[in-house]
Amino acid sequence: MTITITPAASQRMRQFLAQTPAAVGVRFGVRRTGCSGFGYVVDLAERVDAGDSVVEIDGVPVVVDAGSLPLVDGTVIDFQRQGLNAGFVFHNPNATGQCGCGESFTVG
């Protein structure tokens, strides 16, 4: 599994983890949603389930479920601020298209 986290995303994830000591890491994956098929999910992981893959990136444990892994392998996760908005941004080499608002993506 190859997932890259930029320094800005790593810092933001470590802030979330520091506020929730019971979390075992950050869960990253996808769910079916939106007009293009899949949407990203980033949340605190309360546990590691059977079939999950865990990789530590820059001190951040990242938990990915088996179903999401082929869809997010190779993704670069960034955290960006634009005016009053801030959020994670994903650069996924597996995505072949995305909706106009960028909230969901398709794979080929």
pTM for this predicted structure: 0.85
Give the chain's mean pLDDT. 88
Query: Which residue has 């890259």 as its token pair?
Result: 4
Instruction: Write the DSSP string, the chain.
Output: ---EE-HHHHHHHHHHHHH-TT--EEEEEEEEETTTEEEEEEEEES---TT-EEEEETTEEEEE-TTTHHHHTT-EEEEEEETTEEEEEEE-TTEEEE-TTSS-EEE-
CB 97 within 8 Å of CB 36? yes
What's the CATH class of domain 4-95?
Answer: mainly beta
Cβ-proximal residues to 82 (8 Å cutoff; 6+ apart), any chain: none
The reported pLDDT for the residue numbered 36 is 62
Extents of the domains making up the chain = 4-95
pLDDT band for 100, please (50, 70, 90 cuts): low
Q: Is the pLDDT of residue 21 over 70?
A: yes
